[in-house]
Amino acid sequence: MNLTGLGFVALFAGLIIAFIFLGQRKGAKPAQFRPLEALQSLPQTVGDAVETGRRLHISLGSGSVGQTDTAAALAGLTVLDQISEVTVVSDKPPIVTTGDGTVMLLAQDTLQHVYARQNAQDRYDPTSARVAGLSPISFGAATSVMVKDESLAGTVLVGSVGPEVVLLTEASQRAGVTTLAGSDDPAAQAVLFAAAEAPLIGEDLFAGGAYIGRHPGHVASLRAQDIMRLLIGVVIIGGVLLKTVGILK
């Protein structure tokens, strides 16, 4: 039985629950976050798309549900839910692209709920959430063509992609379209640092819900992540010191 792993998960879950309750008590101070250019410039990108009557492209990457990249796709769905709340009322609703059928179904479901919340079910088009390509490279190629064909105002990519994301960012640069993007893959993060206007590095990918919507659960989860990161850091440094002085074998 792996009690360490179980204890780690239980502590993490306990911290999230504790921070949810702490955040909801009377007199609780609003959460302060460090500046993240990609997420802070998001409202402007969304606003520009609505005002200019052009489409916003929200990409959930080529990751799938049920694999190791599930969480990245789910982080993308959270961002989709919050952004589309604003953009569905514009003349041109957003286009959502994925590289997996399951994520596409979840994206369609998310959009349908957003349209229902806005009492605009009649405007919902199931093909606005679509599979761009079933392999990573075909996904990159298809989304790059979409930038020109669909006259996009901006691209927001939150999901799992590899270095092929450069096909999309380069097409966006040529068309003068803003790209805010983040991936869980370190190689793609290096590419995005060079190629995207506003990259999301490391765990920033999972912070969208807390930064955009200020949802108490997401804010609590972000605080719990900070505590756990600190704890892991202390354990790593402590372990190195103990090993250096010969206490740990």
Partner 1 sequence: MKIRPGNLLLTAIAIGVGVITLLGYFVNWPVVIIMRLQFVAWASMLAAVAVCIGALNLAQVHLKKMMTGAPGWFYSAFLVLTLIFTVGVGIAAPLAGWGHGPTNTANAFIFHNVQSAIGTALAGLLFFFLVFAGYRLLRRRPSIMLVTFIVVAVITLIGLAPLPAGFPDFGLRDLRIWLAQVPAVAGARGLLLGVALGVIATGLRILLAVDRPYGE
- Smallest distance from partner 1 to CB 99, Å: 8
Name which of 50 and 231 has its Cβ closer to partner 1. 231
User: Which strand ranges, in their side-by-side order, compose the sheet holding 55-61?
Assistant: 129-131, 95-98, 55-61, 152-160, 178-182, 198-200
Tell me the two tokens of residue 71: 């969480």
Buried/exposed code over 169-189 (b: 16+ C-beta within 10 A; e: otherwise): bebbbeeebbbbbbbbbeebb
Name which of 106 and 156 has its Cβ closer to partner 1. 106
Name which of 56 and 115 has its Cβ closer to partner 1. 115
- Smallest distance from partner 1 to CB 92, Å: 13
- Smallest distance from partner 1 to CB 217, Å: 3
Name which of 56 and 168 has its Cβ closer to partner 1. 168
C-alpha R_g of the chain: 20
- Smallest distance from partner 1 to CB 12, Å: 6
Dist. CA 237–CA 215, nearest whole Å: 33
Dist. CA 234–CA 27, nearest whole Å: 31
